[in-house]
Amino acid sequence: MAVTSYLTAGRGATAEIEVKRSRFLCTVEPVSDEAAARAVIEALRKEHWDARHTCSAFVLGPDGAVQRSSDDGEPAGTAGAPMLEVLRGHEVSDVVAVVTRWFGGVLLGAGGLVRAYGDAVRAGLEAAGTVERRLMVEHRVEVSHADAGRLETELRQRGVAVLDVSYAAEVSLLLGVPAAAPFDLAAVLAELTGGAAEPVVAGSRWT
């Protein structure tokens, strides 16, 4: 079954925790692709050049198909994997989490590191919040200037998103209908225009 909605970070955010004098600064950013995720990681590595570790995890795609993590010098499986597990647990995608660690002089052990990195990402996600992205199917419809204003109002009242309006000999409306919602746009348009207007599928977008 095709994915028609998913959660992502509501905004870029940071959160910091301290464990036995080690500082763990988590940065969470919404990203569109792997290049953007890696750019965030590298920018933070340069900004916090004095930190001991810059560990990261990201999940990409509406179905979370791309998942990567890095321990960046921490013992294998103690940083990137628990960070990725928190992202999975919150069911977010198109998001990167980077935890910058300044060593405080006390060894935390494998279990301590797993907890610290996971807790840092949880705090970062809490600060960022989440938003739902939905797949909208776009339809274009041509109507007369006389009908355009009334039609636009009626469609909005029925939950159809009017994404764009352009004026020429006729008025062209770009309409968005959630892919998950069974909605017969053709029937609604036929009813509102006496059968004069027919929608043509123009594409889809995530909103």
Does 47 score more than 70 pLDDT?
yes
Q: What CATH topology corresponds to 5-128?
A: Ribosomal Protein S5; domain 2 (3.30.230)
Q: Tell me, what's the pLDDT at 137?
A: 84
Does 164 score more than 90 pLDDT?
no
Closest CA to 57 of 86, 36, 20: 86
Fold: same for 5-128 and 134-206: no
Q: At 98, phi and psi to the nearest 5?
A: -125, 125
**Domain residue spans of the chain:** 5-128, 134-206
Q: Tell me, what's the pLDDT at 43?
A: 97
Q: Which amino acid is at 170?
A: E
Q: Tell me, what's the pLDDT at 206?
A: 83
pTM of the model: 0.80
Under CATH, which number does the domain 134-206 receive? 3.30.70.240
Q: Tell me, what's the pLDDT at 27?
A: 98
Q: Which amino acid is at 20?
A: K
Q: Write out 59-104 in H/E/C secondary structure.
A: EECCCCCEEEEECCCCCCCCCHHHHHHHHHHCCECCEEEEEEEECC
